[in-house]
Structure 1
Amino acid sequence: MSTTTITFNQLRKLKDSLPNGSMRTIAEDLDLNVETVRNYFGGKNYDRGKCVGIHIEPGPDGGIVELDDTTILEYAKDLLEGKKQVHEYKN
Structure 2
Amino acid sequence: MSTTTITFNQLRKLKDSLPDGSMRTIAKNLDLNVETVRNYFGGKNYEDGKCVGIHLEQGPDGGIVELDDTTILEYAQAILEGKKSVQFHN
Q: Distance in 2 between matches of 1:47 and 1:79?
A: 27
Partner SS for 1:23: helix
Q: Which ranges in structure 2 are unaligned for 5 or more consecutive residues?
A: 86-90
Equivalent residue number for residue 88 of structure 2:
none
Equivalent residue number for residue 9 of structure 1:
9
Equivalent residue number for residue 38 of structure 1:
38
Equivalent residue number for residue 69 of structure 1:
69
RMSD after superposition: 0.8
Equivalent residue number for residue 28 of structure 1:
28
Task: Map 1:52-91; keep pairs closer than 5 Å.
Answer: 52-84=52-84
Equivalent residue number for residue 47 of structure 1:
47
1:84 Cα shift?
A: 3.1
1:65 Cα shift?
A: 0.1
- Amino acid in structure 2 at the alignment position of 1:22: S
Structure 1 runs (4+) greater than 6 angstroms displaced = none
Q: Distance in 2 between matches of 1:30 and 1:36?
A: 11
Equivalent residue number for residue 18 of structure 1:
18
- Amino acid in structure 2 at the alignment position of 1:25: T
| Number of equivalences | 85
- Amino acid in structure 1 at the alignment position of 2:11: L
% same residue: 87
Q: Distance in 2 between matches of 1:54 and 1:22?
A: 20
Partner SS for 2:56: strand
